[in-house]
Amino acid sequence: MKVQSGKHLTKVVEKFSIKSNYKKYREIMKWFIAEENRHSQTLKKYMDIYKIQQANKLWIDNIFRFLRKIMGLECEVIILVTAEMIALSYYTALSNATNSKLLKTICEQMLNDELKHVVLQSDTLHRISKSRNKVINSVVRAIRKLVMRFTVFVVWHKFKKLFIKGEYPYKVFKKHCIEYLNESINIEKTGNI
């Protein structure tokens, strides 16, 4: 997932770090953006070397980009962490589907990084939700579950051939993504990493 310059994300991170007195967050997110962009560059280099055509962007990307820009940090983080959790299954399927040792190594690194990102973003959601009332937090969690189910459905249909080749059937993909989401929500609720 390319974050590009992360201008909007940087702006909302700045506001949050001041409001919450979480000064380290600016630096943490600067490194997060750099790492996500490195992921994109690494995959692009691999694809260029092996003359692999990039897949067309999903229409849902534009919707998510729009929502991230109008809704503030919490929406940004919900979209980011959803993409990170989907990526855990995607890179597992991609690694299973290839015979390339190089691509398997890239996938292994991505999986390692993405798991850390899920924990980071889940902790951010904890920091946002801990001072809010339980009803609003329950509504936000329900929205996260809907976003995940919808995204799983869309991503599966876009990359179905890859998932099947990677021996990652829809039921397993959906189950794993929901499990990742439940773990993320547990971190968000408790702050226990």
CA–CA gap between residue 149 and residue 151 (Å, rounded): 6
Q: What is the DSSP letter of 159?
A: S
**Residue 27: per-residue pLDDT:** 95
pLDDT higher than threshold 60 for residue 1 = no
Whole-number CA gyration radius for the chain: 17
CA–CA gap between residue 189 and residue 143 (Å, rounded): 15
**Residue 145: per-residue pLDDT:** 98
Residue 81 lies in a domain: yes
Q: What average pLDDT does range 113-141 have in this prediction? A: 96
Residue 1 lies in a domain: no
| Whether 139 contacts 146, CB under 8 Å | no
Q: How many domains does the chain have?
A: 1
Q: What average pLDDT does range 66-79 have in this prediction? A: 84
Range of the domain at 78: 7-190
* Between 188 and 63, residue with greater pLDDT: 188
Residue 21 lies in a domain: yes
Pick the closest to residue 148 from 189, 176, 106 (CA basis).
176
At residue 92 the predicted structure's pLDDT band, cuts being 50, 70 and 90, is very high
Cβ atoms within 10 Å, residue 145? 14
Q: Which CATH number fits the domain that encloses residue 79? A: 1.20.1260
The model's pTM: 0.90
Q: What average pLDDT does range 78-83 have in this prediction? A: 94
CA–CA gap between residue 122 and residue 125 (Å, rounded): 5
Pick the closest to residue 2 from 44, 59, 53 (CA basis).
44
Pick the closest to residue 160 from 101, 89, 109 (CA basis).
89
| Whether 119 contacts 187, CB under 8 Å | yes
What is the Cα 72 distance to its own chain's centre?
Answer: 16
Residue 180 lies in a domain: yes
Q: What average pLDDT does range 96-121 have in this prediction? A: 96
Residue 2 lies in a domain: no
Residue 15 lies in a domain: yes
Concatenated DSSP letters of 72-124: -HHHHHHHHHHHHHHHHHHHHHHHHH---HHHHHHHHHHHHHHHHHHHHHHHH
